[in-house]
A and B are shown apart, each in its own frame.
Chain A
Amino acid sequence: MARNDPSMEVQKQEDVPAGEMERTHARRCFVPKSDIYETEEEIIVLADIPGASDKTVDISLEKNVLTIDAFIEPVRANGYDLAYAEYDEGDYQRVFRLSDEIDRDRIEASVSGGVLRLCLPKAAAAKARKIAIKTK
């Protein structure tokens, strides 16, 4: 793996429960590794959520707080015993605070190959509010 230390890539970061809140699933919960980039039109969020499918991902946007909740379907090997483990399975949760106003009606999300792709188009008002700085 090019960018990071290889040992970092295979390590998952465990989510720290906020305050007194506890999760209902008695499973571990991880912070998914994410990429976020912005273009003129939209903000794209990519998150690695291996084991979760489009049916098991919940995304909510409240004001400008984006919450990603992904539940996994654990690998169940009938009749097999787990002999050696390098990674732990768990759900994923991550909360982002977005800066620009988002057009809620046009948000699109897809999950493929264990990667969540979230497309958040910027609202027209937010785009218009950008003020050009003139040089004299």
Chain B
Amino acid sequence: MVQRFLRPSIWQEMDQFQREMNRLFDPNSRVRAFNSPSYPAVNVWTDEDGQLISAEMPGVRPDDISIDVTGDALSISGERHPDEISKDARYHRRERSFGSFSRTIQLPFMVDTNKVEASFRNGVLLISLPRAEADKPRKIAVKTR
């Protein structure tokens, strides 16, 4: 509260910049964790009414993906099948992996399971998870007397 009446100084801005940079490179920062614990790696987007989860799953057929939501847990599982190749084919390079996967993500809220939507486009899975009405924070009006 006192800060507001002070003139912003260059040092203050420098401090803020330093904090921002520290946050960016903080290995414990929750925002950027490029070591995913399991497949698929997900990005989580939030707004007031819920979350949007995106995952890159190239080569997985949409029919092979199963998404289950129970309460506040989302689970993505499925299988990636290898390409069928003829017997006389010889591999030069094999970097892509195949097999089944399963992952459960704990959400910070209860999901309205009837309104969950998922789409799969260009190998990117997008799941929209709306927050259950009952779980939303209630606004409390402040009355003046």
* CB < 8 Å neighbour of A2 from B42, B90, B99: B99
Is the pair A87, B41 in contact by a Cβ cutoff of 8 Å?
yes
| Known contacts A36-B93, A87-B43; is-contact A50 B36 (Cβ 8 Å) | no
Is the pair A86, B41 in contact by a Cβ cutoff of 8 Å?
yes
Task: For the complex, give the distance between the alpha carbons of A6 and B35 in Å.
Answer: 10
Per-position 1/0 for B66-80, Cβ under 8 A of A: 000000000000001
* CB < 8 Å neighbour of B88 from A40, A53, A86, A113: A40
Q: Which DSSP category, helix, strand, loop or mixed, fits chain B's interface?
A: loop
| Known contacts A4-B97, A35-B83, A113-B61; is-contact A80 B52 (Cβ 8 Å) | yes
* CB < 8 Å neighbour of B97 from A9, A39, A115: A9
Is the pair A86, B94 in contact by a Cβ cutoff of 8 Å?
no
Tell me whether A81 is interfacial, beta carbon within 8 Å. yes
Q: Which DSSP category, helix, strand, loop or mixed, fits chain A's interface?
A: loop
Interface residues on B, range: 35 or more
Is the pair A50, B83 in contact by a Cβ cutoff of 8 Å?
no
Is the pair B58, A84 in contact by a Cβ cutoff of 8 Å?
no
Task: For the complex, give the distance between the alpha carbons of A84 and B43 in Å.
Answer: 6
Contacts of B40 in A (CB 8 A): 10
* CB < 8 Å neighbour of B47 from A39, A81, A86: A81
Is the pair B33, A34 in contact by a Cβ cutoff of 8 Å?
no
